[in-house]
Every structure is written in C-alpha cells, then in structure tokens.
C-alpha cells in the first residue's frame, strides 16, 4: 500500500483542525466512508465547537465508529476457543466408489476446497498455544454436494462414552468455578477429581499424558475422526469407517520443559509456525485414510466399535489412504474466517452417515445449538466462510441478519405457483437427495450403558505398553507433574488405584514420583492383554521422520564470528530443506571477523533455543567470551541440550558448551555436515543424563 503523508492544516489561532493525506485521494485503496457509504473527511478529530470546545452529539462519524468498536467481540467457543486455521484443498487419490457414493471421492485427482481449524480445548481464546492439551483438528470440505465437516481431534479416543457427561467433563477441566484458575491446564483438583471417578476416561488419559498433547507443531500431528462413521455406496451398501489424517511432515512432539518455556517465549508459537510455513510456501500436507470394516469384523473385536474410548489398532486393520489435504493459504482475516467458522459433525453429504455412537449422537445436537448462541443468529451459515460453494435453496426465511433477498410469494412447499408462471421455488430430490442408511433399530427405551462398553482398562494398557520406553517415561512423569498439582490427597490415591489396572509398574512409578504409597487396584474387572500396537508410538514409531525439511536451526553469532563458515552452514541447512535463523545479542547484527556486519533475524533475548529444532554456535573466541557473561546465551545452550536437540559448535564456542554443562554425545558436533545430519532429529538417549523421569 502506498504510504500516506499527512499535511497539517492550521486554523487562525494556530490550532490543528484537520490532517489531510497528501498522497492522492486516500492512497490507492479508495475513500474512507461510514457504514452508510458517506465519505469521511477527517478520521482524526471529533466534531467540536471551537478547537477546545464541547463535543457534538450529532457527530455520526464518531458515534458509529465507537458503537461498532463496542460490539466487536463475540462470545468465544465454550471449548476449543483458541485456534488457528488455513485454507487449502483435498485431492482424491482414486475413485472410492466401492465404499461411498460421496461425490468428492469419485474421481482420481479431483480437488475439493477445504478450511481447517486447529485448536486447543480447555484454554480461552487469549491463552497460549502450548499447554498440555488435546488439539482440535476440524476440516470443512466445501463439496459440490454441500459442506462435509470432519470435526476431529489429534487423539483417536475421547474421555467419555456418552454425550450427557460432556458438560461435567468440561466444567471439571476448565478453570475452577470459584477461583477462575488455572487457565489452559488440567493440572488441578477438579479435573483429576472427575477423571478419578470416571474409569471410562482412563484410555484417553493415557493419550493426554503422553507426548501427543505437547505437539511441536500443528503440522506434526495426526488427526482422527474418532467415532465410527459409515460410508454408503451407490448400491446402498454400508461400510463402517474410522478416519485418520497422517502428517507428511511426520509426527513430532516437544519435551514438557520445552513446551512450558515456549509458552513464555512465544505464546503464539504454533499459530505463528503455521502462518509462517504457509507464507514461505512450505505447505503442510496430510493424507486422509480410512479403516474400513463390516459388521462381521466389528463383531470379532473384543470391544464395541460404537464406544469412542476405543481404537482399532492399525496392525489389526490397516489404514487405507484415500487422498491428501494441502493447506496453502492463510485466512485474509482472522475474525471473519477463523473465528466465525462453524464446524458441525452433523454436516454430512450423501455417501457418509452416522452410527449409534452415543457420543457422536450428542454432538449432532450441540454444535448447531452453541453456534446460534456464539454467532448470534440462525443465519450464520450465510457467512462467507460457512456458506457452501454449491447452491443453497429452501424455504427457510427471515431471522436476524438475513443476508439473502429471496424472491417470489412462495415461502412454503408444496406450492403450485410455478403452474401460474410465478416463482415456485425448489423441490425435493428423491433420487439424489440425502437418505439415511436404513439400519434396522429396535428395543426398549432405557438410560443404560451396554455391557460391551464396560472394559475401561485393556486399551489403556495396550496404549501404554505399546509406547517406546522414552515415551513411557514422559507419560509417567506427566502424571506425576499433574497429580503433584492436586492438593487433595484422596484424589491422587484414587487416581493411582485406577492406574494399577492399567499397568502396576506405571502406578508404582507414579506413586514413587509423588512419594506416596501405591494403593490396591480399584477394579476387579478382568483386563485383557491385547496385542501391542507399535504404530501408536511417536518416538521411534512409523511416523518419526528424521528431516530438516520444514524445521528451523538457530545460528547464534556475535562480534568476531566467521562469516564464511556461517554462509556455508546456512546453505547446507537450506539445501537440506531447513531454515537458518541468525540470532545475535543485538538485532542490528554483529561485526564479523572481516569487519562486515551480518544482520540478525532475531535478538538473543527474544529467541531462546526452544523455538528452534536445533542450534549452532558460530562463535569466535572473543564472541564466546562476551557471551559467557550473558545468561540468555548460557540458557540457549543449556536448554538445547536439555531438550535433546543437536548442537553444532565452532572451536571458539567450546567454553560456552562447558559453562552450559553440555556433555559430548552424538548430538553435539562441529559446524559441519555431521551437524546438518544431527539437526534432523532428537537424541532421546541423552535424556536420562539431563532429568529425572518417573
Ligand atoms: Fe466438540 N464441541 N464436543 N468434540 N469439538 C465444540 O462447538 C461437543 C468432541 C471438537 O474449530 C463446540 O462450535 C460435545 C469430540 C472440535 O471450531 C461444542 C461433545 C471431538 C471443536 C462441542 C464433544 C470434538 C469442537 C464448541 C461430546 C473430536 C472445535 C464450539 C459429545 C471428535 C471446532 C463449537 C472449531 C467444538 C460440543 C466432543 C472435536 C460445544 C457435546 C469427541 C475440533 O458444540
């Protein structure tokens, strides 16, 4: 945009009475107007009598502007309030007509526009990006047959089996009712009180305490539809499906100490990461897959596929990849798009259908209902971000904020007005319209949980025992951390006794970490030892990718650094697909060995190593000596080591390594190719030497 210069007009007494942009009519963006289209002559001063005189109530420019500002905020989402989103497309790999008649899956290579919002669950809209929390993963497909919303999470199971428990769960998880804290944290009494009384939460708790809830980036998480849905093909045949999103960037999480420090260093870390990756043209990509099965297969499983606290291990039923999603455009306006987008699991298209999962069924009511309250009108589907990209025609009328102007007399159906040459309006489509799968239903009307939902521990055990030992230690330590924040000892004990059912050794580790006696198991229920599922691992699992692609390296420099080795390192990092970020004590840069000045991308105090995937110390003897007195520099190195990242160091940087307590291992290298290779991964074996895990 052209810069607008202002010229001050002086009144008779020398007072400033207006400021006039001098760069043409109001820059290249047109005229400033009120909401009624009236051109505004002065956007700097209220209308007054005399330069210092009383303000005039008739100043409609002022009143309208302040009035609109006063009403800028809308209620935040009751859950998933904090989020970020991006536009993109979904591309179908091959025709899926054997499973579904959904139009978007019929033709190989067909692209469907999508809008995807990631979120945390418990914190308010203004909280931070990296608490320990489940992440929402909601995708709106704007298909030719209407909008299909796949409103999922980054964890394939949920805390409860029946929607009627959702308000209790969320009340317990959010800040406590009397004191209004903690914000965006489950480490408090009310959450664990509820959980300890809800054995059905145990499997989800294993996931919530694992590294899944501290993802490094929104780009490095899986997504799941959780419930069992149906696909229905053109012959009317139904197949059960569970949806999975697999990140092409691989799976990656942080370590807990790092997540906590990122929250201070950059509360917007994950939304910034997504935004900047898209700006750089590194478009994040996920593959959509389904686990497809029939009733016979469902009957063969040792649990109920309608129970949202259960998974089907991928080793038992592989995921069939059916397409890919690429996010390639950040919203133009956060409020208009990310805040106003309304996802709803009830938005489905012909070829997709629900099952009787009692959690899903409750969700089908909740979303539309809450969105009426959040967006203020039943017409929120007309907002550009929510509007389908296919025709919408019906006889629903009026309501607040009606944006459309329907034509004709007929606002009812059936009508015969078209016969008389008037506008009759749309008609039903018995052949192509949505029809529900005619599943035979029957039985007594009861408030009851089926016996097939009763096993709350076998899959919790399956999950814990399938993890890599490093992840198991993280999980045990997370439980210790969270329960250490619970002041009521009876709650801790009750939780430990539930954990004995999952794995007695885990319960003992947690009890040891709390320095409490390990109680007896809480349940006598038979617990099955299911076949383990290594596919559930992040660390040393199938989606742990060692790459610099899409990742960043912080290169710390100071006065006297060697420009040539910095250049060499930078191009090697970039060649490997990574991003080199120059960090210096001053953002203006440092004076290099040859006298030239290298500008920094970030100042040391504002760019701690937690925001990078690996760090390099390109320091001369002189620069290093200076940084030994800089706590931020010592912490930079100490944290990179503690967070198990690669550290590449020049000769001159050795004293800084020593001061930061860095012990040599394969992740600590020179500033050479070995570093570029090391920077693509974390060094899990280092962990035992840097912290005590439960
Ligand atoms: Fe949600 N959930 N939820 N949820 N949910 C909402 O809808 C609800 C559940 C999920 O980015 C709300 O518009 C109930 C499971 C995501 O805008 C609300 C139950 C899963 C988002 C609501 C659940 C989710 C929401 C709040 C238990 C994973 C954010 C604001 C039956 C499959 C969507 C809103 C976005 C949002 C209700 C459980 C995912 C209140 C009653 C299970 C990703 O309607």
Q: What is the rounded average pLDDT of the residues 629-641?
A: 98
The H or E element spanning position 8 is strand 6-10
d(CA 43, CA 54): 18
Residue 606: pLDDT band with limits 50, 70, 90: very high
Percent of the chain with pLDDT over 70: 96
Both tokens of residue 586? 């001053």
Reading across the β-sheet that carries 614-617, which strands appear in turn?
602-603, 579-584, 552-556, 614-617, 647-649, 668-669
Residue 28: pLDDT band with limits 50, 70, 90: low
Residue 16: pLDDT band with limits 50, 70, 90: very low
Which segments within 637-683 are labelled E, that is strand? Answer: 647-649, 668-669
Residue 10: pLDDT band with limits 50, 70, 90: very low
The H or E element spanning position 463 is helix 458-466
The alpha carbon dihedral of 659, 660, 666, 671 has a sign of negative
For 589, residues 6+ apart whose C-beta sits below 8 A from its C-beta are 582, 597, 598, 599, 600
pLDDT digits (tens, 9 = 90+) for 168-196: 999 999 999 999 999 999 999 999 999 99
Q: How far is the CA of 367 from the centre of ligand 1 (A)?
A: 7
Q: How far is the CA of 347 from the centre of ligand 1 (A)?
A: 13
- pLDDT at residue number 266: 97
Q: How far is the CA of 197 from the centre of ligand 1 (A)?
A: 23
- pLDDT at residue number 9: 42
Q: What number does the ligand 1 atom closest to the CA of 341 have?
A: 17
Q: What is the rounded average pLDDT of the residues 152-176?
A: 98
* Beta bridge partner(s), residue 603: 584
DSSP secondary-structure letter at 63? H
> To 5 degrees, how large is the angle CA 300–CA 301–CA 307?
130
- pLDDT at residue number 29: 78
Which member of 153, 379, 498, 501 is catalytic?
Answer: 153
Q: How far is the CA of 659 from the centre of ligand 1 (A)?
A: 48
Question: With 0-12 CB in 10 A as exposed, 13-18 as middle and 19+ as buried, what is 125?
Answer: middle
The alpha carbon dihedral of 22, 23, 24, 27 has a sign of negative
Instruction: Supply the Cα-derived Rg of the chain in whole angstroms.
Output: 29
Which member of 80, 381, 456, 474 is catalytic?
Answer: 80
Q: Is 77 annotated as a binding residue?
A: yes
Residue 525 confidence (pLDDT) above 80: no
CB of 173 shorter than 6 A to ligand 1: no
The H or E element spanning position 207 is helix 202-208
Q: How far is the CA of 79 from the centre of ligand 1 (A)?
A: 7
- pLDDT at residue number 325: 99
Q: How far is the CA of 109 from the centre of ligand 1 (A)?
A: 31
CB of 491 shorter than 6 A to ligand 1: no
d(CA 215, CA 224): 15
- pLDDT at residue number 335: 98
Q: What number does the ligand 1 atom closest to the CA of 85 have?
A: 11
Among 272, 279, 215, smallest CA distance to 247 is for 215
Residue 13 confidence (pLDDT) above 80: no
d(CA 150, CA 286): 14
- pLDDT at residue number 66: 96
The alpha carbon dihedral of 392, 394, 396, 399 has a sign of positive
For ligand 1, pick from 76, 77, 79, 372 the residue to mutate: most ligand atoms within 8 Å of CB: 79
CB of 642 shorter than 6 A to ligand 1: no
- Helix-, strand-, coil-residue percentages of the chain, each rounded to 5: 30, 15, 50
CB of 370 shorter than 6 A to ligand 1: yes
Q: How far is the CA of 395 from the centre of ligand 1 (A)?
A: 29
Among 317, 319, 324, 293, smallest CA distance to 94 is for 324
Q: Regarding the domain delimited by 552-689, which CATH topology (the fold level of the hierarchy) does it fall under?
A: Rossmann fold (3.40.50)
CB of 119 shorter than 6 A to ligand 1: yes
Among 633, 636, 614, 616, smallest CA distance to 625 is for 633
> To 5 degrees, how large is the angle CA 160–CA 163–CA 168?
70
User: Does the annotation mark 411 as catalytic?
Assistant: no
> To 5 degrees, how large is the angle CA 343–CA 101–CA 388?
35
- pLDDT at residue number 218: 98
Q: What is the rounded average pLDDT of the residues 268-286?
A: 98
User: Does the annotation mark 80 as catalytic?
Assistant: yes
Taking all residues of the chain, what is their mean pLDDT, rounded to a whole number? 95
Residue 618 confidence (pLDDT) above 50: yes
Residue 436 confidence (pLDDT) above 90: yes
Residue 214 near residue 132 (C-beta atoms within 8 A): yes
* Domain regions of the chain by residue span: 1-72, 83-156+212-382, 552-689
Answer whether CATH 4.10.91.20 is correct for domain 1-72: yes
Print the SS3 string covering 230-279: EEECCCCCEEEEEEEEEECCCCCECCHHHHHHHHHHCCCHHHHHHHHHHH
ipTM higher than the 0.90 cut: yes
CB of 121 shorter than 6 A to ligand 1: no
CB of 19 shorter than 6 A to ligand 1: no
d(CA 545, CA 157): 24
Residue 564 confidence (pLDDT) above 90: yes
d(CA 571, CA 333): 35
Residue 361 confidence (pLDDT) above 70: yes
Q: What number does the ligand 1 atom closest to the CA of 138 have?
A: 43
CB of 131 shorter than 6 A to ligand 1: no
User: Closest residue (by CA) to atom 25 of ligand 1?
Assistant: 80
pLDDT digits (tens, 9 = 90+) for 368-402: 999 999 999 999 999 999 999 999 999 999 999 99
Answer whether CATH 2.40.180.10 is correct for domain 83-156+212-382: yes
CB of 360 shorter than 6 A to ligand 1: no
Q: What number does the ligand 1 atom closest to the CA of 224 have?
A: 32
Percent of the chain with pLDDT over 90: 95
Residue 1: pLDDT band with limits 50, 70, 90: very low
Both tokens of residue 318? 């592989």
In order, the DSSP letters of 328-387 are: EE--S-IIIIIIT----TT---TTEE----HHHHHHHHHHHHHHHHHHSSTTGGGSTTTS
Residue 162 near residue 362 (C-beta atoms within 8 A): yes
Residue 485 confidence (pLDDT) above 60: yes
Residue 611 near residue 266 (C-beta atoms within 8 A): yes
Residue 22: pLDDT band with limits 50, 70, 90: very low
- pLDDT at residue number 26: 45
- pLDDT at residue number 12: 44
Looking only at the bridges linking them, the beta strands covering 579-584 and 552-556 are parallel
């Amino acid at each position: 945009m052209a810069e607008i210069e202002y010229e001050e007009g002086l009144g008779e007494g020398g007072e400033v009475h207006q400021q006039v942009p001098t760069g043409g009519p109001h820059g290249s963006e047109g005229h400033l107007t009120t909401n009624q289209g009236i051109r505004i002559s002065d956007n700097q001063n209220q209308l007054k009598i005399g330069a210092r005189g009383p303000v005039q109530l008739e100043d409609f420019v002022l009143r309208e502007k302040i009035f609109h500002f006063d009403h800028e905020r809308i209620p935040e989402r009751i859950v998933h309030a904090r989020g970020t989103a991006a536009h993109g497309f979904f591309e179908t790999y091959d025709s899926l007509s054997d499973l579904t008649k959904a139009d978007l899956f019929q033709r190989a290579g067909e692209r469907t526009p999508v809008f995807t919002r990631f979120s945390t669950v418990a914190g308010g809209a203004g909280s931070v990006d990296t608490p320990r929390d489940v992440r929402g993963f909601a995708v709106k497909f704007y298909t030719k047959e209407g909008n299909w919303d796949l409103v999922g999470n980054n964890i394939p199971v949920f805390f409860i089996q029946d929607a009627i428990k959702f308000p209790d769960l969320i009340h317990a998880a959010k800040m406590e009712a009397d004191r209004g804290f903690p914000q965006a944290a489950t480490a408090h009494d009310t959450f664990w009180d509820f959980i300890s009384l809800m054995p059905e939460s145990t499997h989800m708790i294993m996931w919530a305490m694992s590294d899944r809830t501290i993802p490094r980036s929104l780009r490095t998480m899986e997504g799941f539809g959780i419930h069992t849905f149906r696909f229905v093909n053109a012959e009317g045949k139904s197949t059960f499906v569970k949806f999975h999103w697999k990140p092409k960037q691989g799976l990656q999480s942080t370590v807990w100490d790092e997540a906590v420090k990122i929250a201070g260093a950059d509360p917007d870390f994950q939304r910034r990461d997504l935004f900047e990756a898209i700006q750089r043209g590194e478009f994040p990509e996920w593959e959509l897959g389904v686990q497809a099965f029939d009733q016979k297969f469902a009957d063969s499983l040792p649990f109920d596929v309608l129970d949202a606290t259960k998974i089907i291990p991928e080793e038992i039923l592989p995921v069939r990849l059916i397409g890919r999603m690429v996010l390639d455009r950040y919203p133009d306006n956060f409020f208009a798009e990310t805040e106003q987008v309304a996802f709803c699991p009830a938005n489905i298209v012909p070829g997709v259908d629900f099952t009787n999962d009692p959690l899903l069924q409750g969700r089908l009511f909740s979303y539309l209902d809450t969105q009426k309250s959040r967006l203020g009108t039943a017409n929120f589907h007309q907002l550009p971000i929510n509007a389908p990209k296919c025709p919408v025609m019906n006889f629903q009328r009026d309501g607040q904020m009606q944006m459309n102007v329907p034509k004709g007399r007929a606002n009812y159906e059936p009508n015969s007005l078209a016969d008389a040459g008037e506008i009759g309006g749309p008609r039903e489509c018995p052949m192509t319209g949505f029809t529900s799968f005619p599943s035979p239903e029957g039985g007594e009307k009861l408030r009851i949980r089926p016996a097939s939902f009763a096993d709350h521990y076998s899959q919790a055990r399956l999950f814990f025992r399938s993890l890599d030992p490093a992840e198991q230690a993280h999980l045990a330590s997370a439980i210790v951390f969270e329960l250490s924040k619970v002041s009521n000892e009876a709650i801790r004990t009750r939780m430990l006794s539930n954990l004995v059912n999952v794995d007695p050794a885990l319960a003992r580790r947690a009890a040891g970490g709390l320095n409490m006696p390990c109680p007896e198991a809480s349940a006598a229920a038979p617990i099955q030892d299911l076949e383990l599922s290594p596919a559930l691992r992040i660390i040393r699992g199938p989606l742990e990718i060692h790459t610099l692609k899409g990742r960043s390296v912080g290169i710390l420099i100071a006065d006297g650094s060697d420009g040539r080795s910095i250049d060499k390192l930078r191009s090697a990092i970039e060649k490997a697909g990574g991003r080199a970020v120059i960090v210096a004590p001053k953002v203006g840069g440092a004076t290099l060995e040859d006298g030239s000045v290298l500008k920094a991308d970030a100042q040391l105090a504002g760019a701690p190593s937690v925001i990078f995937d690996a760090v390099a110390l390109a320091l001369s003897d002189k620069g290093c000596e200076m940084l030994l007195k800089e706590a931020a520099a010592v912490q930079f190195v100490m944290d990179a080591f503690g967070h198990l990242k690669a550290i590449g160091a020049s000769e001159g940087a050795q004293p800084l390594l020593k001061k930061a307590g860095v012990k040599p291992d394969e992740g600590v290298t020179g500033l050479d190719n070995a570093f570029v290779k090391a920077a693509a991964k974390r060094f899990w074996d280092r962990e035992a030497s840097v912290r005590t895990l439960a």
